[in-house]
Amino acid sequence: AQTVTQSQPEMSVQEAETVTLSCTYDTSESDYYLFWYKQPPSRQMILVIRQEAYKQQNATENRFSVNFQKAAKSFSLKISDSQLGDAAMYFCAYRRGEKLTFGTGTRLTIIP
């Protein structure tokens, strides 16, 4: 079974600074998808960024980018120019076929 590990239960960053959230996963597959979801206090799950495993280029969405290391099975999220609205739980997720497996989450605090 696939597992997704987020080793940082909590992180904090100064407003306007950069922070990186870590994620590793375990799989024997070569074709899969990886995602980062954000869950603010409202509880709504919001897709931040996604990466297809067959693509070598790292995905980028405005201030959010990933460092995808397929051989190392690592998928970290970098948030640049952190804003107060970035405060949330962040979940890394792996998808192969119809099932999506989530990590346990990292709570990100933004320090004004």
Partner 1 sequence: NAGVTQTPKFQVLKTGQSMTLQCAQDMNHEYMSWYRQDPGMGLRLIHYSVGAGITDQGEVPNGYNVSRSTTEDFPLRLLSAAPSQTSVYFCASREGQLNTGELFFGEGSRLTVL
Q: Of 41 and 112, which CB lies nearer to partner 1 in the complex structure?
A: 41
Residues 53-82 vs partner 1: string with x where CB under 8 A? ------------------------------
Query: Could you give the CA distance from residue 103 to residue 56 in angstroms, rounded to a whole number?
Result: 23
3-state secondary structure 33-96: EEEEEEECCCCCCEEEEEEECCCCCCCEECCEEEEEECCCCEEEEEECCCCHHHCEEEEEEEEE
- Residues 16-55 touching partner 1, rule: CB under 8 A, are 33, 35, 42-45, 47, 50, 52
Residues paired with 89 in a beta bridge:
39, 107
Q: Residue 11 or 100: which CB sits closer to partner 1? A: 100
Output the smallest distance, CB 26 to partner 1, in A.
15
DSSP type of residue 98: T
Q: Which is nearer to partner 1, 26 or 81 (CB)?
A: 26
The residue among 41 and 81 lying less far from partner 1, judged by its C-beta, is 41
Q: Least distance to partner 1 from the beta carbon of 4, Å?
A: 8
